[in-house]
Amino acid sequence: MRIIELNESITDSNDKDAEALRSLLKAQGTFLINIMSSPGSGKTTLLERLITDLKEKHKIGVMEADIASDVDALRIEKLGAAAIQAHTDGMCHMDAGMTQRALMAMDSKDLDLVFLENVGNLICPAEFDTGANANVMILSVPEGDDKPLKYPLMFEKSDALVITKTDTMSYFDFDLEKCKERVLRLNPHISIFPVSALTGEGMDALEEWIEKHM
């Protein structure tokens, strides 16, 4: 597993870089999903489950973006998926240039499905198009159903919302219907998937959504 040191891209336009990356992904037949959430929402655990379920059908790679450590990439590599750990030099988000450099360093040509696990942060990553084909955000049950009220941009920018750790629903005061209503008011086109990566509940619908969009 490689570690790549990245820092902010200094270019004229992140949006232009993002479009260029999407053209490159199309040319090489790779579908890139940008996964965003708070720290500790269960991004890596969800990815472990997705890789286990989908690795017979697809060639999967994961780019782990963190300020420090390589714990997530090591977990992914154990499952047999291609993995690279990107260190963001203290940066709170990935931009399109950084994403492209990590993708090139991973040698993604043969991969048909790549996940970018963005830096754990519910604010800054929503402001930067990474060049991915789809934006998926995660909200975990312990974080609470009021998060759409407080971090609206992330919900507005996402194509799908995965509500994780649903197996802990009885332990926390989380109103799923109220949460969905708040999210759909911000973004009527978002697809919502309550799942437990631990028990597998709800994973089928999410995996179907991913394969439909590839």
Q: Which is nearer to a second copy, 17 or 143 (CB)?
A: 143
Selected binder of a second copy within 12, 90, 177, 188 (CB under 8 A): 90
Selected binder of a second copy within 7, 16, 39, 181 (CB under 8 A): 39
Token pair of 3 as six digits = 């570690």
Return the range that interacts with a second copy (CB under 8 A); candidates 13-21, 52-60, 101-109, 118-126. Answer: 118-126
Q: Is 169 in the site for a second copy (CB under 8 A)?
A: no
DSSP run (H or E) holding 4? strand 2-5
144: left (phi over 0), alpha (psi -120 to 50) or beta: left
Shortest Cβ distance from residue 181 to a second copy (Å)?
A: 15
Contacts of 176 (CB under 8 A, 6+ apart): 145, 163, 169, 194
For strand 82-87 and strand 160-164, is the pairing parallel, antiparallel, or unpaired? unpaired
Q: Is 67 in the site for a second copy (CB under 8 A)?
A: yes
Q: Is 159 in the site for a second copy (CB under 8 A)?
A: no
- CA dihedral (100, 8, 65, 123) positive or negative: negative
Contact residues toward a second copy (CB under 8 A) are 38-40, 66-69, 71-72, 90, 92, 119-124, 127, 140, 142-144, 146-147, 149-153, 165, 168, 171
